[in-house]
Amino acid sequence: MQNKEIILVTGASSGMGRETAIKLAKEGYIVYAAARRLDKLNELKEYGCIPIQMDIAKEQEIEDAVNKINKEQGGIDVLFNNAGIAVQGSLEETDIDDAKKQFEVNVFGLARLTQLVIPYMRNKGAGKIINTSSIAGKVHGPISSWYVASKHAVEGLSSSLRVELQPFGIQVVLIRPGAISSELISTYVDGMVKRSGNGPYAEMTKTLVEWSKSRDNNPKYSSPPSVIADTVYKIIKSKKPKTSYEVGKTSKQMIWSRKLLSDRVLDKMMLNFLKS
């Protein structure tokens, strides 16, 4: 039986977005799966998803995608802002253009898409906007300044937006993934090595790369993307979802460490780990 709600999932070509789009389509929702390249979405048609091209860093493609969905369905009931990139490396060695790209995708693209779906939800008096943050949105870390900054921005944007939209019946929810097995791991590790693997931060970078590779796709340390899909489905089904969800291995522990430990103590623990 098909649900009437229209759902847009960004970053649906792989990982968390792909799993979520498939899960929701199987549950009977009308799911638009968005990504930069349509050919990466062909397989999703088998599950009932509707592929749609959208580079979240290109405003025209965002507008075209939303206009297409509005024309075909009348509007979007649930937006899952999942698309994102991880620009890793020391702040000193990261080109400002790369840093700007990080924010174009993770913050400004997310915000522009959200702007375009709000009017329909507001007029309807209902809707859900689910934003993918990260434990990096609460817990800082070395050799990832720009990524951490972008996720802190998503946290602040989402919290303010939650208050703005509450009078209109629109719910804003944050998901903070912990260690999730994803193609993003290899991508950000490569970028980290390229930027900081041979300079003054080489030792830090080497330790972080080895640590990341040892945990990716290891069920002892990382969770499958399906845990995110299950959480998004839970949020959609809930009449009153929580404002945020920590999901995946290490997520809850890291968030609690941020609450319990002072900046100095947490910094010292990180530096001791990098020296070990």
Q: Which two three-digit tokens encode residue 87?
A: 């620009």
> Global pTM?
0.93
* Domains of the chain, earliest start first: 6-275 (3.40.50.720)
The total of other beta-carbon atoms located within 10 Å of residue 195's CB is 21
Residue 89 has a pLDDT of 94
Residue 217 has a pLDDT of 66
What's the full length of the chain, in residues? 276
Residue 2 has a pLDDT of 57
- How far is it, in rounded angstroms, from Cα 208 to Cα 210? 6
Q: Residue ranges of the chain with pLDDT lower than 70?
A: 1-3, 182-187, 215-218, 276
245 is catalytic: no
**Locus of tokens 């779906």:** 117
Residue 208 has a pLDDT of 87
For the four alpha carbons of 150, 155, 158 and 161, in that order, the dihedral sign comes to negative
The secondary structure of residue 133, as a DSSP letter, is -
Catalytic-role residue among 120, 147, 188, 245: 147
| Cα-trace Rg, the chain | 19
86-103: string of b/e by CB count within 10 Å (b at 16+)? bbbbbeebbeeebbeebb
Residue 272 has a pLDDT of 87
